Amino acid sequence: MNKLTLISAITATLFTLSAQAEKYYVEASVGNTDVEFGSDSKSDTSFSILGGYDVYAQDKIKIAAEVGYNQYAELTSNGEFLGNQITTTQDINSLAFGAKLAYTPMTKLDVFGRLAYETIKNDVDSDGLGSFSTTSDEITYAVGASYEVVDNFSLGTQYKYASLDGGADLTNVTVSANYHF
């Protein structure tokens, strides 16, 4: 009897998910991250992947919940410490939970804003000085646009900003591909 109940529950879940499948999407992006601290600025190639679920879609308005991973930058700098040359590498990445509000001003074109809570991790490794890791919880803001090239597939661009702990500013400009199931 327990096996029959389990099979029935799994089957009901699969039918429910397949009926809701068109509300799920995945998005991958590549771009450039710039980290500014005072007058010093470093940049590197970034990439991210996220999954989303359309919570609300009516007329020209869509609201979605999203979760994603961002690899912002791997920055390398050279300097001197106590007369010795050292190389320091920073790896900046995050896990994000957020919301997307999209407006469709014309067929196939969306303009959107994103607001996310991100746990940003900064792994630092210095020659001869060891390594350490810091984590900060940040709110990030983004604006962008996307165009549906063919059914369920769109291309887009986005600008993202975060003010990091310690006074640094992170900006990220990306191009993306999005697939709606």
pLDDT per position as a tens digit, 128-175: 778 988 899 999 999 999 999 999 999 999 999 999 887 889 999 999
pLDDT of residue 87: 86
DSSP-H helix ranges across the chain: 2-20
| Mean pLDDT to the nearest integer, 64-91 | 88
CA distance 9 to 15: 10
**What's the pTM?**
0.83
Average pLDDT over residues 86-92: 88
Lowest mean pLDDT among 91-95, 123-127, 140-144, 147-151: 123-127
pLDDT number for residue 6: 57
Please give the C-alpha separations between residue 148 and each of 50, 98, 160, in angstroms, as whole numbers: 18, 22, 21
Q: pLDDT band at residue 7, thresholds of 50, 70 and 90?
A: low
Confidence of residue 30 (pLDDT cuts 50, 70, 90): very high
pLDDT surpassing 60 at residue 13: no
- Ramachandran area for residue 108 (φ above 0: left; ψ -120 to 50: alpha; else beta): left
* Among 177, 143, 178, CA closest to 158: 143
Query: What is the domain partition of the chain in residue ranges?
Result: 23-180
Tell me the sheet residues that pair with 38: none
Q: Quick check: 3 pLDDT over 90?
A: no
Burial of 121: CB neighbours in 10 Å, binned 0-12, 13-18, 19+: middle
Q: Is 89 exposed, middle or buried (0-12, 13-18, 19+ CB in 10 A)?
A: middle
Average of per-residue pLDDT across 64-85: 88
Q: How many Cα neighbours within 13 Å face the side chain of 147? A: 3
The encoded tokens of residue 11 equal 């089957």
Q: Give residue 12's pLDDT.
A: 59
Per-residue pLDDT, 65: 97
Instruction: Please state which CATH number belongs to domain 23-180.
Output: 2.40.160.20
Question: Residues 106-122: what's their mean pLDDT?
Answer: 96
**pLDDT greater than 60 at residue 50:** yes
